[in-house]
Amino acid sequence: MSRIIDRRQMLRGAALAGGGLALSAYMPAWAQTNSAGLTTPLPTVTGNDITLRIARQTMMIDGRASRAIGINGTVPAPLIRLREGQNVRLHVINDLDEDSSIHWHGLLVPPQFDGVPGISFPGIKARSSFLYEFPIKQNGTYWYHSHSGLQEQLGHYGPIVIDPASTDPVQSDREHVIVLSDHSQLSPEAIYRDMKVDPGHFNYQRQTLAGLLSGKDQRSKDRIDWGKMRMDPTDISDATGPAYTYLVNGHGPRDNWTALFTPGQRVRLRVINASSMTTFNVRIPGLKLTIVQADGQNVMPVEVDEFQIGVAETYDAIVTPSDDRAYTLVGEAIDRSGLARATLAPRAGMAAEVPALRPRPLATMEDMGMDMSAMGGMEGMDMSNGDMSKMRGADSTAEKNPSAKLTTPGAGMAAGAMAMSGMTPGGSAMPGMDHTGMSPGAMASGGSAGGMAGMDHSAMGGHQGGTGAMDMGSMKMRDFSKAPQVKKGPGVQTISPMPMDRTGEPGQGLENVGHKVLVYRDLMALTRNPDVRAPERSLDIHLTGNMERFMWSFDGVKMSDKMEPIPFLEGERVRINLINDSMMGHPIHIHGHFFELVTGHGDHAPRKHTVIVQPGGKVTWDFTADAVGDWAFHCHLLYHMHAGMMRTVSVRPRGEAV
Amino acid sequence: MTRFASIFAATAMLSITAPVAAQSMQGMNMPGMSMPAKKKPAAKPAAKAKRPAKARLSPAKRKMPAKHSAAPMAGMKGMEGMDHSSMPGMDMSGSSPQPAQGAHQDMQSMPGMQMPANGQPAAQGAQQPMAGMQSMPGMTMPADQHGSQVMPGMSGMATMPGMTMPGMQQTGTALAAGNAPAPAPPMDHYADRQFAPAEMAKARHDMMVDSGGKPFSQVLFNLAEYQARQGRDGYRWDGEAWFGGDINRVWLKSEGEGGFREGVESAEVQALYSRAVGPYFNLQAGVRHDFQPSPNRTYATVGFEGLSPYMFEVEGALFLSTKGDLLGRLEGYYDQRITQRLILQPRVELNLAAQDVPENRLGAGLTDAEIGLRLRYELRRQFAPYVGVSYVAQTGRTADFTRAEGKDPSTTSFVAGVRIWF
């Protein structure tokens, strides 16, 4: 597929050269853009009465026309700029020949205006309109998107910025909205079907014999072990680079969307991940990012070099570029199959080096919910699996999407080398490496151990192990006694035997990048949480799936199989434990509410609307069910939701409860 | 650990009466807690405590096999070498060299510190040490759901810069969850109050179908090839088509071969109902009809297909003919990726018969076996031309039948074809 794209690109390249842009041949790849840098700000709508018209259109991405659904003629949809305390009336006109809808992601609105067809309202019929009207009770960075079918993939998403009623605690000289997304030449229906009938369809970064022979990725013993488990450690994301061009504000990496600054200015970047399926690792080489807001909620400033942003999350970061030069904003897809690229520059037409895509990560035993470090006498197993294979490098035949051509080969080496050098001195220098208190000594032994010494693999295929204290017998991969509430069935491939709280880890593939990566535990609310009561009860929800059948569900039950909601009482404060029984991260979103992450910050817990639950890991949050109504609760990976990873949540007044 | 715990208990004022604490703190992990006391005391006692602690594990809330209950201790062992120096921001200022006091003080210097985990009280790891913990204000350790082995979030603590930040209270998320009962789910749909219920019912139905309920279909020819062999070049196909949802499907299979001069030598079609019976396997039952060779036959079929450990695609079936003859078939292949697009597929097919079927020239036992090796290039996933070699050998009485016809019971073919699906 990328082959075809390549050929077309060459043709286009030839056409461009013929058209007088022959100069481009003398410029490095990253500097060859389709434009002199698009500095146009996002179209913006504001005021108390706003009209949004949903319609099919084409959009140009890296010089190539693509089918899309946009709003008011643009993709992303126009920036909706509001002020806290105002009332807004949004007239949404659906010019499509099918039903549509708009969900205001992160906005606390009455349930009838939440915009989920079948839960909050009947949807907006083809060629009709719907009036949303609600008060704006909050401020911050949010976004909006279709909740109908797979329209979101086609471009039906846009940013929302709400200015605070009073002074913004985050002061900046200038701001830019950065909407990250993924766009495909394939129809979303085709993408979904391809994944459904052909597992791993879009993964062109698998382990191969060529890789094995050249000493890359897992060693053969590990490959056999993983094969025995019928798990593919390269299955990091489903729809990925070969299907997608990664966009910034609707522009491809070659378009080079450019955000302007004056050196010395404090620039606020409002980063929104409006992707359908892509978790991005965001960084600006040469600049520190000071995270000041997450999911529209102010947090105590944290300085990082990079952050992972799950689908539907938002982060506001302050950067202060002091030099009169261009910087590249890189949004690297989590599986490193491609990148979104923008430029921060003092003037239009500038470009900076685009760092090479780093080697794609490999899933580890920990990503299957096996906490290796907790097992006495088995230190080092995880190392041999994940981190050691990272040292071996990724498969040499792995394919990237065309954005890789923009990168400078040398630029990525630095990061790689850094990671390698980090390995040698010992534990303390390895951020994130030390998962659960492995000592440097243990790590060293792990390094030398090489294979999975001591691991009883025979017990992993589901055979009963001995009754020994902590052998692999108790690490069965599909032991429903570990999750009694999960419905047993073909849709549940694995049950994490020992799910860990991984909110202190930077995310898959970012354990060893040689610089500071944001972790959830870094986030702390700027102000005290509004409700600091103890949770009255707690509730486990298992994130379940089968990658071989592309089935996704909660507690083993797909949305299509169960309408019965997860019930809450008005005002009830409940602790939710999200346990990821799959080997893939899931950004979980609840409508109508914010939740407080239980990450050790007491009454200054970070408040979010969406949280990534890392593979095989778990995330705990507290929330107050204060919005009466029925609300959607789902994985925000579009095709996971579409496959059934969704449920209704009901909040009812106490008296009303049955 | 035992020693350590008793020290805690001694210093702790509030420790005595703590059923709640004992409950909500199970599964937590002592060595981690010992961090203020600095490394040495932490590591050793943890290891020693393994046995005694195990003995105390009995009063489990939930039924749990012994091997599980031992887990917390194992976890502790894993924590042994924890490098406390790698916890920036952890306020250790108040620590004194004496483990007892020092520990206590430091704990207090971490108000709001909190080890989140899953609420359900489960395994009973370290109950006794918990008692001591109670003296630490705001330190809540809701139990890990599975009584787990690890102090959840221990790794995170290393990077918790806010550990000693002001404004952190022992409230909010630091508090343990209670065990109030969950309400019953409501019988109504809230949006029915705001929109026409009939309209909502339809939208609800559409949304549910749209969220995991849609059927799919696929047509796949794993083999569609030209076979070059001595004297009589031929062709061969092996394909399937299915329609349905995640669990229930209608499945059609067809395979056969022929020569360019002789015409179709064998051709069969199976129509099956297929049901997913596990994460990897489908059970299938239906009918098979052989159009060739003649006399043609109809069979009742039951079989399976799926992905076996080590990633082999396998398939097996039994066929009972209307004449009462029983046949069987086993097939398997493996896709060995040489590069991302170049794939070598070794393939084996075994056909079996429970009895002689002279009309169809089959002998009891293994009737024939095929070993194939095909190298394909995936121009697209859906379209992959291949070349390869296929060796088919009839055995036993089946081979005799063939020889009697003056034919060779074994054939080697060089094949070229395309693996295709749509």
Whose structure tokens read 């004194």?
B96
- Using a CB-CB cut-off of 8 Å, the residues of chain B touching A504 are 153-160
Whether pLDDT at B71 is above 90:
no
Q: With 90 as the cut, is the pLDDT of residue A282 above it?
A: yes
- Name the residue in chain A with its Cα closest to that of B199: A122
Buried b (16+ CB within 10 A) or exposed e, B129-146: bbbbbbbbbbbbbbbbbb
Of A116, A208, A656, nearest to B338 by CB-CB distance is A208
- Does residue B355 sit in the same domain as residue B244? yes
Domain enclosing residue A641, as ranges: 501-656
Interface of A with B in 28-87 (CB under 8 A): none
In angstroms, the Cα distances linking A284 to A184, A320, B72 are: 25, 11, 42
Is residue A221 in some structural domain? Answer: no
DSSP A435: S
A587 and chain B in contact, CB less than 8 A: no
Q: Spell B297-325 as b/e; 16+ CB within 10 A means b.
A: bebebebbbbbeeebbbbbbbbbbbeeeb
Reply yes or no on whether the pLDDT at B93 is more than 70. Answer: no
CA angle, residues A438, B99, A441, in degrees to nearest 5: 20
Give me A609's structure tokens: 């609307």
Nearest-neighbour CA in chain A from B385: distance (Å) = 15
Is A118–B205 a contact, with Cβ atoms under 8 angstroms apart?
A: yes
The enclosing domain of B291 has a CATH number of: 2.40.160.40
The answer, yes or no, to whether residue A33 has pLDDT greater than 70, is no
Q: Distance (Å, rounded) from C-alpha B298 to C-alpha B238?
A: 19
Please name the member of B150, B185, B309 whose beta carbon is closest to the beta carbon of A436: B150
Contact: A468, B67; criterion CB under 8 Å: yes
**What is residue A460's predicted lDDT score, i.e. its pLDDT?**
36
A494 contacts: CB under 8 Å, gap ≥ 6: A231, A368, A369, A477, A478, A581, A582, A583
Answer yes or no: are the C-beta atoms of B143 and B121 closer than 8 Å: yes
**Cis peptide bond upstream of B295, omega within 30:** yes
Of B149, B160, B380, the CB nearest to A374: B149
Residue of B159, B220, B281, B419 to mutate for A, most A C-beta atoms under 10 A: B159
What separation in angstroms does the CA of B280 have from each of A245, A582, B313? 32, 15, 10
- Averaged pLDDT for residues B148-155: 38
Nearest CA in chain B to A199: B381
- Tell me if A122 and B207 make a contact (CB, 8 A cut-off): no
Residues of B in contact with A602 (CB under 8 A): 111-112, 114, 138, 168-174
Q: Categorize the per-residue pLDDT at A477 as very low, low, confident or very high, splitting at 50, 70 and 90.
A: confident
Average pLDDT, chain A: 85
Q: Which of B127, B142, B163 is the last residue of a domain?
A: B163
Residue B158: pLDDT over 50:
no
Asked if A426 reaches chain B (Cβ–Cβ under 8 Å), the answer is no
Residue B176 covered by a domain: no
Q: What is the pLDDT of residues B258-287, one digit of tens each?
A: 998 888 989 999 999 999 999 999 999 999
Residue A452 has pLDDT above 80, yes or no: no
Show the 3-state SS of chain B: CHHHHHHHHHHCCCCCCCHHHHHHCCCCCHHHHCHHHCHHHHHHHHHHCHHHHHHCCCCCCCCCCHHHHCHHHHHHHHHCCCCHHHCCCCCCCCCCCCHHHHHHHHHHCCCCCECCCCCCCCCCCCHHHHHHHCCCCCCECCCCCCCCCCCCCHHHHCCCHHHHCCCCCCCHHHCCCCCCCCCCCCCCCHHHHCCCHHHHHHHHHHHHHHCCCCCEEEEEEEEEEEEECCCCCEEEEEEEEEEECCCEEEEEEEEEEEECCCEEEEEEEEEEEEEECCCCEEEEEEEEEEEECCCCEEEEEEEEEEEECCCEEEEEEEEEECCCCEEEEEEEECCEECCCCEEEEEEEEEEEECCCEHHHCECCEEEEEEEEEEEEECCECCEEEEEEEEEEEECHHHHHHHHHCCCCCEEEEEEEEEEEEC
Q: For every residue of A536-602, which 3-state class applies, written as one string?
A: CEEEEEEEEEECCCCEEEECCECHHHCCCCEEEECCEEEEEEEEECCCCCEEEEECCCCEEECCCCH
pLDDT tens-digit readout, A325-356: 999 999 999 999 999 999 999 999 899 999 99
Does residue B266 sit in the same domain as residue B155? Answer: no
Identity of residue B26 = Q
CA gap A206, A547 in Å, rounded = 15
The whole-angstrom separation of Cα B140 and Cα B345 is: 56
Q: What is the mean pLDDT of residues B404-419?
A: 93
Residue pair A80/A92 in contact by the 8 Å Cβ criterion: no
User: Which one is predicted more confidently, A36 or A312?
Assistant: A312
Return the residue in B207, B247, B310 with the most chain A beta carbons within 10 A, the one to mutate for interface testing.
B207
Cα within 13 Å of Cα(A174), Cβ side: 17
Q: Do B203 and A652 touch (CB under 8 A)?
A: no
- Asked if residue B416 belongs to a domain, the reply is yes
**Count of the separate structural domains present in chain A:** 2
Whole-angstrom distance, CA of residue A658 vs CA of residue A652:
10
- Is the domain of B114 the same as that of B237? no
Window A:214-243, CB contacts with B under 8 Å: 224, 227-230
Mean pLDDT throughout A425-438?
Answer: 34
Interface test with A, best of B82, B113, B148, B173 (most A CBs within 10 A): B173
Q: Is the pLDDT of residue A514 over 80?
A: yes
Q: How far apart are CA A262 and CA B383, in angstroms?
A: 52
Instruction: Looking at the complex, report in whole angstroms how far the Cα of residue B245 sits from the nearest Cα belonging to chain A.
Output: 10
> Residue B69 corresponds to which tokens in the numbers above?
């209950």
Query: pLDDT over 90 for what percent of chain B?
Result: 54
Of A606, A617, A605, A613, nearest to A636 (Cα)?
Answer: A613
Q: Do B54 and A469 touch (CB under 8 A)?
A: yes
Q: Is the Cβ pair A374, B148 closer than 8 Å?
A: yes
pLDDT band at A451 (very low <50, low <70, confident <90, very high): very low
- Count of domains forming chain B: 2
- pLDDT reading at A505 higher than 50: yes
Residues 272-331 of A with CB under 8 A from B: 300, 302
More confident residue, B49 or B349: B349
Per-residue pLDDT at B170: 78
Residue A166 lies in a domain: no
pLDDT at A424 over 50: no
Residue B178 forms part of a structural domain: no
**Non-local CB neighbours of A417 within 8 Å, separated by 6+ positions:** none
- Prediction ipTM score: 0.85
Residue B275 and residue B340 in one domain: yes
- Nearest chain B CA: its distance from A121 CA (Å): 6
Task: Tell me the pairing of strands A629-635 and B234-244.
Answer: unpaired
**Mind listing the pLDDT tens digit for each residue in B355-392?**
999 888 899 999 999 999 999 999 999 999 999 999 99
- Which residues have a Cβ under 8 Å from the Cβ of A13 and sit 6 or more positions away? none
* Residue B207 in domain: no
Q: Are residues B10 and B93 in the same domain?
A: yes
**Minimum Cα–Cα distance from B161: chain A residue:** A522
Closest alpha carbon within chain B to A502: B153
Task: With both helix axes pointing from N to C terminus, report the angle between B2-11 and B39-48 in degrees, rounded to the nearest 10.
Answer: 120
| Chain A positions in Cβ-Cβ contact with residue B175 (cut-off 8 Å) | 533-535
Query: Which residue, among B155, B135, B113, B21, has the nearest Cα to A604 in the 3D structure?
Result: B113
Look at residue A655 in the predicted model and tell me its pLDDT: 84
The rounded distance, in Å, linking the Cα atoms of A170 and A527 is: 13
Cα separation, B32 vs B12, in Å, equals 18
Chain A residues in contact with B145 (beta carbon < 8 A): 499, 540, 577, 579
Q: Do A371 and B75 touch (CB under 8 A)?
A: yes
Q: Is the pLDDT of residue B108 over 70?
A: no
Chain A's closest residue to B164, CA to CA, is A601
What share of chain B in percent tops pLDDT 70?
60
Using a CB-CB cut-off of 8 Å, the residues of chain B touching A227 are 309-311
Q: Is residue B168 part of a domain?
A: no
- In one-letter notation, the amino acid at residue A616 is G
- Checking if the pLDDT of B156 tops 70, the result is no
User: pLDDT digit string (tens) for A217-276?
Assistant: 999 999 999 999 999 999 999 999 999 999 999 999 999 999 999 999 999 999 999 999
Q: Quote the CA–CA distance of A359 and A389 in Å, as a whole number.
A: 11
Contacts of A572 in chain B (CB under 8 A): 183
Tell me: pLDDT of A608 over 50: yes
Does any CB of chain B come closer than 8 Å to the CB of residue A1? yes
Phi, psi of A197 (to 5 degrees): -95, -15
In the predicted model, what is the mean pLDDT of residues A488-504?
94
The predicted pLDDT at position A563 comes to 85
Mean local confidence (pLDDT), A596-605: 96
Residue of A nearest to B205 (CA): A118
Position A579 pLDDT exceeds 60: yes
Q: Specify the long-range contacts of residues A11-19, CB closer than 8 Å, at least 24 apart.
A: A12/A63, A12/A64, A16/A63
Residues 374-413 of A with CB under 8 A from B: 374-377, 379, 395, 397-399
Give the model's pLDDT for residue B149. Answer: 38
pLDDT digits (tens, 9 = 90+) for A354-393: 999 999 999 998 898 887 655 444 333 443 344 444 568 8
Residue among B57, B211, B216, B304 with most chain A CBs within 10 A, to mutate: B211
Q: What pLDDT is recorded for position B36?
A: 38
Q: Which of B81, B150, B132, B137 is nearest to B110 (CA)?
A: B137
Which CATH number is A563's domain given?
2.60.40.420
The nearest alpha carbon in chain A to B203 belongs to A118
Name the H helices within A424-547. 440-449
Contact at CB, A228 and B310, closer than 8 angstroms: yes
For residues B155 and B244, state if they share a domain.
no
Candidate from A208, A371, A657 with C-beta closest to B149: A371
Q: Residues A637-652: what's their mean pLDDT?
A: 97
In a domain, B139, yes or no: yes
Helices B39-48 and B71-79, interaxial angle, to 10°? 150
Q: How far is CA B255 from the centre of its chain?
A: 31
Does residue B155 share a domain with residue B233? no
Nearest CA in chain B to A639: B211
pLDDT digits (tens, 9 = 90+) for B12-62: 333 333 333 333 333 333 333 333 333 343 334 433 434 443 334 333 344
Phi-psi label, residue B183: left if phi above 0, alpha if psi -120 to 50, beta otherwise? beta
DSSP string, A379-412: TTHHIIIIIHHHHH---TT----GGGGGSBHHHH
Interchain contact, A644 vs B86, CB within 8 Å: no
Give B232's pLDDT tier (boundaries 50, 70, 90).
confident
Tokens read off for B191: 């949006």
- Does residue A35 register a pLDDT over 70? no
Pair (B267, B413) in one structural domain: yes
The answer to whether the CB of A134 falls within 8 A of the CB of A87 is yes
**B158 and B280 both lie in a single domain:** no
Are both B113 and B235 inside the same structural domain?
A: no
Mean pLDDT, residues A196-215 taken together: 94
> Could you list the residue range(s) of the whole structural domain that residue B395 is in?
216-421
What are the Cα distances from residue B311, in Å, to A419, B314, B386? Answer: 32, 9, 21
A467-506 residues touching B, CB cutoff 8 A: 467-471, 473-474, 478, 482, 489-493, 497-505
Asked if the Cβ–Cβ distance from A600 to B148 is below 8 Å, we say no
Q: How far apart, in whole angstroms, are the C-alpha atoms of residue B378 and residue A53?
A: 42
Q: With contact defined as beta carbons under 8 Å apart, do B222 and B215 qualify?
A: no
pLDDT classification of A31: cutoffs 50, 70, 90: low
**How many Å apart are CA B78 and CA B392, to the nearest integer?**
55
Residues of chain B found within 8 Å of residue A460, distances taken between Cβ atoms: none
Q: Look up residue A15 and give its two tokens.
A: 């056409």
Res A446: pLDDT: 32
Measured between beta carbons, which residues in chain B are less than 8 angstroms from residue A607? none
Does residue B49 belong to any structural domain of this protein?
A: yes
Measured between beta carbons, the chain B residues lying within 8 angstroms of A373 are: 78, 150
pLDDT at residue B138 is higher than 70 = no
Together in a domain, B414 and B322: yes
Decide if B173 is inside a domain.
Answer: no
For the beta carbon of residue B330, count every other beta carbon within 10 angstroms: 15
Asked if residue B125 lies in contact with residue B150, where contact means CB atoms within 8 angstroms, the answer is: no
In this complex, the residue of B85, B212, B311 whose CB is nearest that of residue A644 is: B212
- Return the pLDDT at B296: 87
Mean pLDDT of A555-566: 94
Assess A602–B contact: CB distance below 8 Å, yes or no: yes
**Mean pLDDT value across residues B341-347:** 97
Return the SS3 of A348.
coil
Q: Based on the fold, state whether residues B228 and B155 are members of the same structural domain.
A: no
Q: Identify the band that residue A590 occupies on the pLDDT scale cut at 50, 70 and 90.
A: very high
Mean residue pLDDT of chain B comes to 72
A interface mutation test: which of B246, B275, B312, B419 has the most A CBs within 10 A?
B246
A620 reaches B (C-beta below 8 A): yes
> Which two structure tokens, joined as six digits, stand for B270?
């199976």
DSSP strand pairing (B263-276 vs B248-259): antiparallel
Residue A612: φ, ψ to 5°: -80, 130
pLDDT of residue A19: 40
Rounded mean pLDDT of A16-31?
A: 49
